[in-house]
Structure 1
Amino acid sequence: MKNTYREPINGFTHLFGALISCVGLVFMLVKVLSQGGNYAALSGALIFGISLICLYTASSIYHLVNGTDKVLAFLRKLDHSMIFVLIAGTYTPICLLCLDGTLRIVLLSVIWSLALAGVVFKMFWFNAPRWISTIAYIGMGWIALFIFSPLSKALPFMGFFWLILGGVMYTVGGIMYGLKRPNISDKFGFHELFHVFILLGSLSHFILIFNYIL
């Protein structure tokens, strides 16, 4: 029987990510509400959880669904755009709960402005050179370096460990995507590895946010 899924490995790994993200959102909300439902924590948990769900849902739909060229082109744009949304969504609870005053407002404004610009960029210039997208994703992700000092005071060592580990996982995945290698086999190449490393990055940052920020 002919396989009806376009890219089953990529699609089902991120479908798994979408389902686990739903569970993770529930766990975060239960934790926040059990602590009294702090507004900043509740907002951060919702935005982070929803951004995870959006990314993995968009990715799984694009990689699993068969459709016309026009439909697939739109789904691919949406898939790539959600990467910018997830980066901003991950920064949101960090900004709300680890930073204060002007720095919090400035970083939130910058990160969501960059996310919006990234979405517009992907929607209107999707065929830009691959290296531009790779640099944009990685550069936006490592904006945390500019707030190293306040984060080092707000987070314990293990919290910082999960923050950096998540960044490394995303970066390694991004480099694989940019270079289109390594390719282990015909069915498991750089794209499949990219998806796995994105999942590992998300898991690391979930552990950070759930255990050390909320």
Structure 2
Amino acid sequence: MRNTLENATPIKRYSIKEEVANGITHGLGVLFGFVALTILLVLSIMKKEPLSIVSFSIYGSCIILMYLSSTLYHSIPHENVKKILRVFDHSSIYLFIAGTYTPIALLTMDGALRIGVLVAVWSIALFGITFKISTYKKMDRFKKLSLGLYLFMGWIAVFTVKPIIQTTSFRFFVWILVGGLLYTLGTIFYAMKKIPYSHAVWHVFVLSASVVHFLGIFLYLA
């Protein structure tokens, strides 16, 4: 196992200050995840809505898992442990995206569309995680493919504009759209590896987008 990890793709080294910034920005995301999960669960339990309870539980848990994986990855310096956590960090992004889609699909869609969207996003998530685990020795070789898959998965929502607006409102779709744009703009900084603190800036975009999506879900689906 040790030799296998040593042969894995070398991890980009950030300065100590950069890693502190990386850890703090997504450490705040962990706190946000617990707050979001608590608020949404309390509201859905008070209303006695089983579907909301299930969808918000999945959504909130995926938020926490993604931010926790990222925080641990950037906070633990041990090289071999870091290589393992990197797989968790990258894989949890797929769960995070699928988890965000879950309440939207369950609470704004019906019939074949609901099933189709859920099957699509969770199938892509399963494929992405399996791919990350099976290629962890050369993750950087496929980073563009992974980024493209994240973006494709995130923008599946454009195919569901009409039913979302019909069930909720155009304003809800605007919240989802703004969040998606923030994630997408953030990838610009994610790609700027040579600029100091660019990764922390990417984290800020991700956290901001998460908050925007939560507010949309809280205002229109909770």
* TM-score, length-scaled by structure 2: 0.87
> Counterpart in 2 of 1:119?
129
Three-state SS of the structure 2 residue aligned to 1:73 is helix
Instruction: Please say if 1:178 is aligned against 2:213.
Output: no
Please give the residue correspondences for 1:1-214 in structure 2 after superposition, counting only pairs within 5 Å: 7-36=19-48, 38-67=49-78, 69-125=79-135, 126-180=139-193, 183=195, 186=196, 188=197, 190-214=198-222
Q: 1:6 to 1:172 in 2, by over 3 A?
A: closer
* Conserved 8 A contact 1:95-1:108: yes
State how far apart, in whole Å, the 2-side matches of 1:180 and 1:141 are. 23
Q: How far 1:66 sits from its partner (Å)?
A: 1.7
State the distance in 2 between where 1:192 and 1:66 align.
Answer: 17
Q: 1:46 Cα deviation (Å)?
A: 0.3
In the alignment, residue 147 of structure 2 is paired with which amino acid? T
Deviations 1:7-49 (A, max 9, x none): 100001111110121011111111111112x111111110000
* In structure 2, C-alpha distance between the alignment counterparts of 1:26 and 1:6, rounded to whole Å: 31
For residues 160-208 of structure 1, give each alpha carbon's deviation from its aligned partner in whole angstroms, at most 9, with x where no partner exists.
1110011001111123223547x3xx3x2x2111100000110011011
Change in Cα spacing, 1:63 to 1:24, as seen in structure 2 (3 Å) is same
Where 1:48 maps in the other structure, the secondary structure is helix
Structure 2: runs of 5 or more not aligned: 1-14
Q: Is contact 1:169–1:201 with CA below 8 Å preserved after alignment?
A: yes
Alignment identity in percent? Answer: 39
CA RMSD between the two structures: 1.7
TM-score, length of structure 1 as denominator length: 0.90
Q: 2:34 touches 2:64 (CA, 8 Å); kept in 1?
A: yes
Determine the C-alpha separation between the residues in 2 that align with 1:40 and 1:111.
18
Partner deviation per Cα, 1:121-180 (whole Å, 9 max, x = no partner): 111222333221211111110000111111121222321111001100111112322354
Deviation of residue 4 (structure 1)?
7.6
Equivalent-residue separation in structure 2 for 1:124 and 1:6 (angstroms):
29
Structure 1 unmatched ranges of 5 or more: none
Counterpart Cα distance in 2 of 1:146 and 1:157: 15
- 8 Å contact from structure 1 (residues 99, 150) kept in 2: yes
Which residue type is aligned with residue 104 of structure 2?
I
Q: Deviations over 1:79-114 (max 9, x none)?
A: 011111000000000010000011111111111010
